Every structure is written in C-alpha cells, then in structure tokens.
Amino acid sequence: MARTPADLVGAQPDPPFEITFDGRPVVVLPGQTVAAALWGAGILAWRTTRGGGRPRGAFCGIGQCFDCLATVNGVPGRRACLVPAQPGDVITTQEGHGHDRLGA
C-alpha cells in the first residue's frame, strides 16, 4: 500500500525548492500550487476573514470558493489553489480583504 500520494503515482519530481510562509521556509515540489505546497507542509490556514478574523485556507481546491486567497509576493487576493509556487515566493497571511484588484 502506498504511504504517500507521491509513492502512489511513482512521482520522480524535479529538485524541490523553497518558498516562505509568514517568514518560515516551506519546501515545494515543482509543479505544486501555493495551496498544495502549504498543505504539504501541514499548513491549512493562510488568511483571516474580514468580519470575524477567523482562519481560512483552501476549501474547493478548484478556484470557485475564494477561501484560499493569499498574499503572494506582496500582491493580495491571489487564489492559492490556482497559482503555481515559484522558487523564493514570499507568501503571507492575508488579513481581512484583498479587494483592491477585483472589479466584481
């Protein structure tokens, strides 16, 4: 029986790289989204809600729910489940809203 998803599909990824989440290093397999990289490190929350300041992370995993909004390299409101992680990315918890870039 496979012990990890990578075992199951016989993954032979390119060399891993690092990004940071709120200053701490997170190891990423190339090809993973920001959300996948954070899940891989056991991190499930990377924003707080506008109203109650409650923690949230990825929910739908396919770009529909907008619960996974993160601040990526200083830009708020990026859907972490869609954005591929790049070496050296700086991810920070998004507090409250990131409305400025959205017209809808």
User: Rounded to the nearest 5 degrees, what angle is found at the Cα of 94, between the Cα atoms of 90 and 97?
Assistant: 140
State which residue, 45 or 92, has the beta carbon closest to other proteins.
45
Give the residue with the Cβ less far from ligand FES, 7 or 54.
54
- Looking from the CA of 104 toward its CB, the CA atoms found within 13 Å total 1
- Residue 11, binding choice from other proteins, ligand FES, none, Cβ under 5 to 8 Å by partner class: other proteins
Contact residues toward other proteins (CB under 8 A) are 1-14, 29-33, 35-37, 39-40, 44-45, 49-52, 54-67, 69, 75, 78-79, 81-84, 101-104
CA angle (25 as vertex; 23, 26 as ends), nearest 5: 125
Q: Which does 17 bind (CB under 5 to 8 A by kind): ligand FES, other proteins, none?
A: none
28 within 8 A of 77, measured Cβ to Cβ:
no
